[in-house]
Amino acid sequence: MEPFLLKELVERSLAEDLSYGDRTTEALFHRPIPAVGEILAKGDLVVAGLDVFQTVFELLDPTIRIEAHLAAGQKAKPGDSIGSVCGDGRLLLKGERTALNFLQRLSGVATLTRRFVDQVAGSGARIVDTRKTTPGLRMLEKEAVRLGGGWNHRFHLGDLVLIKDNHIALAGGVANALKEARASLSHPFKIEVEATALSEVQEAIQGGAEIILLDNMSLPQIKEAVELIRKSAPGVKIEVSGGVRLDNVASIAGCGVDMISVGALTHSAPAVDISLEIKKGRSAVGGLPSA
Amino acid sequence: MEPFLLKELVERSLAEDLSYGDRTTEALFHRPIPAVGEILAKGDLVVAGLDVFQTVFELLDPTIRIEAHLAAGQKAKPGDSIGSVCGDGRLLLKGERTALNFLQRLSGVATLTRRFVDQVAGSGARIVDTRKTTPGLRMLEKEAVRLGGGWNHRFHLGDLVLIKDNHIALAGGVANALKEARASLSHPFKIEVEATALSEVQEAIQGGAEIILLDNMSLPQIKEAVELIRKSAPGVKIEVSGGVRLDNVASIAGCGVDMISVGALTHSAPAVDISLEIKKGRSAVGGLPSA
Amino acid sequence: MEPFLLKELVERSLAEDLSYGDRTTEALFHRPIPAVGEILAKGDLVVAGLDVFQTVFELLDPTIRIEAHLAAGQKAKPGDSIGSVCGDGRLLLKGERTALNFLQRLSGVATLTRRFVDQVAGSGARIVDTRKTTPGLRMLEKEAVRLGGGWNHRFHLGDLVLIKDNHIALAGGVANALKEARASLSHPFKIEVEATALSEVQEAIQGGAEIILLDNMSLPQIKEAVELIRKSAPGVKIEVSGGVRLDNVASIAGCGVDMISVGALTHSAPAVDISLEIKKGRSAVGGLPSA
Amino acid sequence: MEPFLLKELVERSLAEDLSYGDRTTEALFHRPIPAVGEILAKGDLVVAGLDVFQTVFELLDPTIRIEAHLAAGQKAKPGDSIGSVCGDGRLLLKGERTALNFLQRLSGVATLTRRFVDQVAGSGARIVDTRKTTPGLRMLEKEAVRLGGGWNHRFHLGDLVLIKDNHIALAGGVANALKEARASLSHPFKIEVEATALSEVQEAIQGGAEIILLDNMSLPQIKEAVELIRKSAPGVKIEVSGGVRLDNVASIAGCGVDMISVGALTHSAPAVDISLEIKKGRSAVGGLPSA
Amino acid sequence: MEPFLLKELVERSLAEDLSYGDRTTEALFHRPIPAVGEILAKGDLVVAGLDVFQTVFELLDPTIRIEAHLAAGQKAKPGDSIGSVCGDGRLLLKGERTALNFLQRLSGVATLTRRFVDQVAGSGARIVDTRKTTPGLRMLEKEAVRLGGGWNHRFHLGDLVLIKDNHIALAGGVANALKEARASLSHPFKIEVEATALSEVQEAIQGGAEIILLDNMSLPQIKEAVELIRKSAPGVKIEVSGGVRLDNVASIAGCGVDMISVGALTHSAPAVDISLEIKKGRSAVGGLPSA
Amino acid sequence: MEPFLLKELVERSLAEDLSYGDRTTEALFHRPIPAVGEILAKGDLVVAGLDVFQTVFELLDPTIRIEAHLAAGQKAKPGDSIGSVCGDGRLLLKGERTALNFLQRLSGVATLTRRFVDQVAGSGARIVDTRKTTPGLRMLEKEAVRLGGGWNHRFHLGDLVLIKDNHIALAGGVANALKEARASLSHPFKIEVEATALSEVQEAIQGGAEIILLDNMSLPQIKEAVELIRKSAPGVKIEVSGGVRLDNVASIAGCGVDMISVGALTHSAPAVDISLEIKKGRSAVGGLPSA
């Protein structure tokens, strides 16, 4: 996400917490306190969102300094230091919750993605995300998926044409839908079609779909569909969705599909546990003018 | 959340998906299609976010009509119809994902809250949320907590003073912190103090805290603290936080505390499964002018 | 453009003109004046932007009524009535300039597009736009291109990969660039490569480009490139850009290319002449409450 | 335009192109590339919008450095270097199109203005713009007019009173309109009246207009009107509008008028051809930290 | 102020009060309560801001109905009903304070203006405002000044040229400043010059100022300046500013000046006392659907 | 107010004045002029808003330097220098009015607050503000109240429950209202009840109000209420409102109440007189690059 856009998103989030000041910090501290905050992993996780964490504090005070001890996409174990932040302790306290809310959530997405990716390692199948993202955080969550080793599907409804069950119901079948799409779609965009039965797979091939999404099929159905597509339409990409879990994703990958999309990566990833431990003092990285 | 504020939040979320149009719908359909969408629960859940769902469609087209079959806070079983939406099918398709993203996430929060609340039923303890909410969605998630039967803690840093570990570290102890806060805080606001040991509980009582938050204590420690507070400071409210799970929350409640706060309500509630099934046709509720 | 997004754009444009009121109208008229405005074409043109025109007046006064006499995409001759607007004459005066600024500019884009499209009629080549649009008006101008019979290329930098001269310079050649792109691009997106010489066309084919953009080539070069691509990569689409004018576009189309992109459609289309003639009175369409 | 306002406008324009990232650049380049971009004129032009060009890149990366080789308002010939930009090549690629869209359009306005101004050189008549500007870009286009040697008319409807044909139609004639305006207008503001016939010129003089706008008159009519005004109302300024072209503007100026307003300056100025040629390397001006 | 702009301003003001809900109303009332609120004057005042009052409630609930008993600009005595508002009592409670904050402040401005205007009645001098307005409320306060019978001076820095003491200090005197301004100012705009001594008045006349502002002069100085200007520059308008109070404004007007500008109209007008008395019930005007 | 929020507020205020440029400054000065502006008190006042003053100029030009000679909350006498600002004189002229509008208004609030606070010195009663603030400026005005020695009451409707006359009317009495509030309010929030008669005071005590607001009572009534509350509910805080003036506030304080709230602090504080005197030159503090 470009910094000028991230800044706007973070400002809105900070405003949720700070529009009426910080009653606690303002009641307790009346002048700057040199302080250092250590960002500590309290579980196994993949780091994502450190740039957002940094933006939170830069917006509160440009003199605050962040030092990253782990790069985005790296793994952390319980007790690992992810990084540190150094500056006026009052601003560390004001930004702490907002900064952690982003970091814990995005690292949660990256961590869950990595677990799925690890399950299909060596299979040639890619784990991909969906548009089932948190309202307002789509770009950040899609980046966290990439950091976890996943691939991105559509970013928004203006990307490729994806003809799903509800479109098919209103268009009167896969063949009709594909014909309409072909007639009016300009060249930069691809067409993907969802199929829930072998008959729809065939219609999709005949209609010229570039990607076929096998939705909610059983493993035998998936295998049969893959065989059909590879034989009659070798250039077509195959994606699977629906009911994908950590305990069955490897079997699905074993069917020889190209992509497996998992809504849970973004809609149900639990936050990972990360804390910020703040102490008086100055770190080597600087921040807080000496005066 | 007041409608004029909700509208702004929903507009931003819709813009994530629709700023460059809906390539699929625009390629397939070139005139209005009367259609009805059924909102179906696909698991056990508590409904929350139906007003947001409605706002999504009203922003796309004021003539779309929503009918609620279940009220906010009610339970649904798999297969239950939560409501329906009726209007131009093209706009149902455009709004579907954004509307469901809100509904599934907020119902997820309400559902998880209800599970915690059910665990402590009869104990007199309240389940309360935290500020560990999704950036941008705090007000909606806090309402979902209420719909699940929970209570709300702070909405933002400008609410009551809450002196936590990091404040205590910078202020030089509980007693100092409380003294500072008492001196400058105006009358509309309360003071809560976090205590991790019995000694801090005693300092908190002596310093005049109105609420004491027992953080990360073992059950025996909690019991001892409760006994101490009830005896020496009967008006003080007791809250517990840290390490609260569905399988231990009843035991914590059994210690006689007033509130148990659970970050997971908002930071780790999985989305519940809800689908929108769209078909051609008109419903009794109306929408879509006949012309 | 979705209405909720258009509304925001139009509000900003109206604010440019009306933030300090309308000195003239407010000095002259102190109560509502029933009035009708006729939208008159004063040259040959293709209509685009009537929905924006309407939004301008709806934002000023929801009771104003617009009647369209020509549909978007239709041609008008000098003297034709494009539509009419009926309501309080003071608001017609306040919105007139902003509404016409949109209508004249967007119809200008549609009109110029249509002239290019007419030149290549029957050739199988499509006229397509570029990202050389007016800052802030991209979605509207791209719609005007469609209304003029053209096709849209990229809407933004997040659409398909388009490797141009500057990318090639920094990446060290077409082959390298394509290899990099293939390795990291996820499945929903296509790759297009710009080629300025036959050697680059060959690299593009070998690297697996799905679209090849022949940039600033002479007619003989284009013909040679088309022949090469059709023979060795029949599925690849061919686009031409650079130096395309009304007087040479037919010859380019005659080379058998698929698309011809023309920056001038949006960066240099002159506004067409349209006026709003306002008179006292009421029209059949209504507007302005009788009281 | 004050920098804090320009920043907001440029951010909105960049968001059109970069809200979903730059698929191409992100696919090709995974670390910073020191690069220099040369801004080259490819036709005769007058430079305008270099400050906007600079703001585009500063918003993407404050470490990018711009060097201007020509000042705003200066002329460039084909091949002239207008300036250069130096920094991380990835950001040069991301900002290129948006920066050029502004620069080419605004220089287009300045260039066309200069051509009109050159036509009337020595006559004492001023070329002035109108409110027929691009929605959202009024302040920038009016500055480009000044850079081309033109003068600005109204910036918005809250500037001077300008009574035009539609006002006269609703007010019942020039005399009535002027009487109303005189009665309620406060002292900081002037009154201008449009006249399409000599009789209206006389009404305008009698009503105390400070500026008279001769609209769509023939050369003989203009001459007659000028004579009348100079004789009977020597302090009144005379403006001409309607049907002004490069080939007749000198004759109009020859009639002795003070101002000639030309809508085409902003509504139909073609973009001038300017390119950005990017190469690996560092320039003397700096940018891009050495690390 | 155009309604679409007013709406935005009022939304921001409501957000100050309601971003976290209304703790009181939400705790007390759980379903709609038909209610009527009477807007009562509790002192002598001139009404201004009733449209803003109405916008506050329309934004909270479009079904709320407002009835005005007095028009903007009319006088009210203690006990007079200014109007009434009818709808769901919960929304009356939520909007009450914001609506009254606008109404009391703007009526305060109108009331103070009227007192100044009454002092100079019959003198031919106008009371005018300044740019010393409340940040964010300039347009509303300037309208309140008009409703109180005053005239408006500049709305913003882009209106007429007004050369004041600080400009003169930096420009090296009145004559220099006027010469510079004359050379570059386009025809729609006037020039006003501040003079603090007779010598500056003479420079202003010679430099061609259209309005002369006598700043902080004594009554004899004003008289002398008026005499000089009337004699040597009969078309020039004369304004007075500085130290104008209710008890000396009539004497200043008596010197024969055209305008007297008073900063206190907007920077120091006390709020007038207006209350909203809410009762259960429905009014004749309607609101609140019967269901 | 956090700087990132203040910046947004100040930008909106500057836009009111500068959206169309500064006609005067741009006409007079065509290159930077090193200049210093002295901020001079022209009456007795308490300083507030110097940070806003500074933000105004930083937004116009980050190189401008401000030096404070008095701290926020300090008193100034006529002629005292409050601070100085040094930089390009053109930007001093552009920001002058907006910066002073904030400074004069906020210092006005602090000054009036100090006068009330001085009246009750030694009594133990606190002067507190209300929500009768200027729309858009609440946070700044509440800070000015603190700088004047006052305390803040509610910041917004989501703070403590405050049951006032209109709530009581709709809820059917104090007892009912308190019962409802107790049942649904979560633990972080207090309850305050307005009482206009002794019977309501008793209901408030019995209902468990934590603060009782004696509204519009006579001195004898206040004394009686204080006696009753101190005897039967010693922990309850007592606040007085209604008809509080500088000449009676000491008597009210003498009744032994805890808080006295005064709407006039924010709704009717006159602006204090402060001027900015600008001269050519450079100050010791710097600003304006030497080139």
F164 is catalytic: yes
CATH code for the domain of A125: 3.20.20.70
**Spatial distance between the Cα atoms of D6 and C284, rounded to a whole number of angstroms:** 45
CA D237 vs CA B94, D229, D258, D286, E187: distances in Å: 56, 9, 6, 51, 8
D282 confidence band (pLDDT: 50, 70, 90): confident
Smallest CA–CA distance, residue D17 to chain A, in Å, is: 11
Smallest CA–CA distance, residue C279 to chain D, in Å, is: 6
Residue A259: the pLDDT is 98
Does residue B123 sit in the same domain as residue B219?
yes
**Mean pLDDT on B27-46:** 97
Does residue E171 sit in the same domain as residue E249?
yes
CB-nearest to C11 from E1, E4, E139 is: E4
**Mean pLDDT on A202-218:** 97
Task: Look at D28 and C177 and tell me if their CB atoms are within 8 Å.
Answer: yes
pLDDT digits (tens, 9 = 90+) for F224-277: 999 999 999 999 999 999 999 999 999 999 999 999 999 999 999 999 999 999
C238 domain residue, yes or no = yes
CB-nearest to E237 from D158, D159, D187 is: D187
B194 is catalytic: yes
Does residue E139 sit in the same domain as residue E234?
yes
- Optimal mutation site among A23, A132, A277, interface B, most CBs of chain B within 10 A: A23
Q: DSSP string spanning D261-288?
A: E-THHHHSPPPP-EEEEEEES--TT--S
Residue that has been written with the tokens 């009926």 in this structure: C86
Residue A284: the pLDDT is 52
Give the chain B residue nearest E95 (alpha carbons): B2
Residue C282: the pLDDT is 81
Predicted confidence (pLDDT) at residue B290 exceeds the cutoff of 70 = no
User: Which H/E stretch holds residue B220?
Assistant: helix B219-232
What residues of E are in contact with residue D153 (Cβ under 8 Å)?
A: 186-188
Neighbours of D259 (CB within 10 A): 22
Q: DSSP string spanning chain A?
A: --HHHHHHHHHHHHHHHHTT--HHHHHH-SS--EEEEEEEE-S-EE---HHHHHHHHHHH-TT-EEEESS-TT-EE-TT-EEEEEEEEHHHHHHHHHHHHHHHHHHHHHHHHHHHHHHHTTTSSPEEE--S-PPTT-HHHHHHHHHHTT-B---SSTTSSEEE-HHHHHHHTSHHHHHHHHHHH--TTB-EEEEESSHHHHHHHHHHT-SEEEEES--HHHHHHHHHHHHHH-TT-EEEEESS--TTTHHHHHTTT-SEEE-THHHHSPPPP-EEEEEEES--TT--S---
List of residues 6+ apart from F199 with CB closer than 8 A: none
Predicted confidence (pLDDT) at residue D199 exceeds the cutoff of 60 = yes
Domain that holds residue E22: 3-115+270-280
Predicted confidence (pLDDT) at residue B144 exceeds the cutoff of 60 = yes
CB pairs under 8 A between B and F: 55
Hey, which chains touch B, using 3+ CB pairs under 8 Å? Answer: A, C, E, F
**Spatial distance between the Cα atoms of B50 and B68, rounded to a whole number of angstroms:** 8
Smallest CA–CA distance, residue C222 to chain B, in Å, is: 31
Q: How many residues does chain C have?
A: 291
pLDDT digits (tens, 9 = 90+) for E28-64: 999 999 999 999 999 999 999 999 999 999 999 999 9
**Mean pLDDT on E194-213:** 97
Task: Look at A160 and C189 and tell me if their CB atoms are within 8 Å.
Answer: yes
Does residue A233 sit in the same domain as residue A161?
yes
Smallest CA–CA distance, residue A1 to chain D, in Å, is: 6
B202 domain residue, yes or no = yes
- Name the DSSP letter for residue F131: S
CATH code for the domain of E95: 3.90.1170.20
Residue B288: the pLDDT is 40
A206 domain residue, yes or no = yes
Smallest CA–CA distance, residue C188 to chain A, in Å, is: 6
Predicted confidence (pLDDT) at residue D283 exceeds the cutoff of 70 = no
Does residue D122 sit in the same domain as residue D230?
yes
**Spatial distance between the Cα atoms of F177 and F206, rounded to a whole number of angstroms:** 12
Residue E285: the pLDDT is 47
E291 domain residue, yes or no = no
**Spatial distance between the Cα atoms of C283 and F148, rounded to a whole number of angstroms:** 62
- Which structure tokens are listed for B239? 């809250």
ipTM score for this prediction:
0.95
CA E82 vs CA A87, E72, E197: distances in Å: 55, 10, 47
pLDDT-above-70 percentage for chain D = 97
CB-nearest to B155 from F154, F158, F258 is: F158
What residues of A are in contact with residue B137 (Cβ under 8 Å)?
A: 134-136
B242 domain residue, yes or no = yes
Task: Specify which residues E37 forms β-bridges with.
Answer: E85, E278
Name the phi and psi angles at F193, rounded to 5.
-130, 135
Q: Give, for all 291 residues of chain C, the pLDDT tens digit.
A: 999 999 999 999 999 999 999 999 999 999 999 999 999 999 999 999 999 999 999 999 999 999 999 999 999 999 999 999 999 999 999 999 999 999 999 999 999 999 999 999 999 999 999 999 999 999 999 999 999 999 999 999 999 999 999 999 999 999 999 999 999 899 999 999 999 999 999 999 999 999 999 999 999 999 999 999 999 999 999 999 999 999 999 999 999 999 999 999 999 999 999 999 999 998 654 444 333
- Which structure tokens are listed for B218? 């073992």
pLDDT digits (tens, 9 = 90+) for B98-108: 999 999 999 99
Cα B242 off chain centre by: 18
F250 domain residue, yes or no = yes
Does residue F91 sit in the same domain as residue F80?
yes
A286 domain residue, yes or no = no
pLDDT greater at residue A184 or residue D277: D277
What residues of C are in contact with residue B18 (Cβ under 8 Å)?
A: 2, 5
B289 domain residue, yes or no = no
Identified catalytic residue from B88, B141, B192, B194:
B194
D2 confidence band (pLDDT: 50, 70, 90): very high
pLDDT digits (tens, 9 = 90+) for D204-239: 999 999 999 999 999 999 999 999 999 999 999 999
pLDDT digits (tens, 9 = 90+) for E210-262: 999 999 999 999 999 999 999 999 999 999 999 999 999 999 999 999 999 99
Does residue D258 sit in the same domain as residue D127?
yes
- Optimal mutation site among A14, A20, A91, interface F, most CBs of chain F within 10 A: A20
**Spatial distance between the Cα atoms of A192 and D49, rounded to a whole number of angstroms:** 43
Does residue A75 sit in the same domain as residue A138?
no
Does residue F99 sit in the same domain as residue F176?
no
Residue F291: the pLDDT is 34
- Optimal mutation site among D19, D23, D57, interface A, most CBs of chain A within 10 A: D19
Reported pTM: 0.96
**Structural domain count of chain C:** 2
Does residue C107 sit in the same domain as residue C153?
no
Q: Which amino acid is at D258?
A: D
pLDDT digits (tens, 9 = 90+) for C13-44: 999 999 999 999 999 999 999 999 999 999 99
**Are the C-beta atoms of residues E209 and E160 closer than 8 Å to each other?**
no
Task: Look at E2 and C11 and tell me if their CB atoms are within 8 Å.
Answer: no
What residues of A are in contact with residue C211 (Cβ under 8 Å)?
A: 187-188
- Best CA proximity match to C183, nearest among D278, A249, A126, A106: A126
**Spatial distance between the Cα atoms of D114 and E191, rounded to a whole number of angstroms:** 27
C280 is catalytic: no
Residue A283: the pLDDT is 65
Residues of E with CB under 8 A from a CB of C: 1-5, 139, 155-156
**Spatial distance between the Cα atoms of B8 and A151, rounded to a whole number of angstroms:** 31
Does residue A98 sit in the same domain as residue A12?
yes
Predicted confidence (pLDDT) at residue E168 exceeds the cutoff of 60 = yes
Q: Which residues of chain F have pLDDT under 50?
A: 285-291
E282 confidence band (pLDDT: 50, 70, 90): confident
What residues of D are in contact with residue E258 (Cβ under 8 Å)?
A: 187
D194 is catalytic: yes
Does residue F125 sit in the same domain as residue F153?
yes
Q: How far apart are the first and last CA of chain F?
A: 36
Predicted confidence (pLDDT) at residue E284 exceeds the cutoff of 60 = no
Predicted confidence (pLDDT) at residue A132 exceeds the cutoff of 80 = yes
Q: Which amino acid is at B37?
A: G
B8 is catalytic: no
